Amino acid sequence: MFRLKNERVWRVFTYLWTIVFMIFVVANFFTQGRYEYLVPPLSAIYTGILGLYVGTKEFDRWYDKYEGRHPGEMFVLIWTFIMLILFGFSLAGGSAYKISSEVVAVYIVVLSIFALTQKSKRLYQRKRVK
């Protein structure tokens, strides 16, 4: 059933927006910022949905309702790959190809969320052992 309280719904929203935003970031970069005006709202939507998904997942973990295993390592690896590629093209292409500072901020948010969830997971596992 479709309920916004359901962790699977937030996972689907997160995966969908991740794919949409990643494609947009790459397209905007290679069109030399033609769609730069869309970066702020799409960044806000993406980070908001990512935060909601991770938040619900962590609450479920701490209240023993989280059963799934959907590691965030893939998000981090894919974002890192995209950022490295964009930085490489930016260096090679000169000032014509610029990475939006908001996209860099989103990357930092993704890294931060991943680090926090890893710490939360370790704390939860330690609590369960006791």
* Structural domain spans, the chain: 7-129
Residue with tokens 């790959």: 81
Q: What is the pLDDT of residue 70?
A: 58
Residue 111: both structure tokens together: 């890294």
112 pLDDT band (50/70/90 cuts)?
very high
Contacts of 55 (CB under 8 A, 6+ apart): none
Average pLDDT estimate for 97-116: 93
pLDDT over threshold 80, residue 69: no
Measured over the CA atoms of residue 84, residue 88, residue 91 and residue 97, the dihedral's sign is negative
Task: Give pLDDT tens digits for 38-60.
Answer: 999 999 999 999 888 888 777 66
Question: What tokens were used for 77?
Answer: 């690896």
Give the model's pLDDT for residue 59.
66
Specify the pTM. 0.82
pLDDT value at 6 more than 90: no
E strand or H helix that includes residue 79: helix 73-93
Asked if residue 10 lies in contact with residue 2, where contact means CB atoms within 8 angstroms, the answer is no
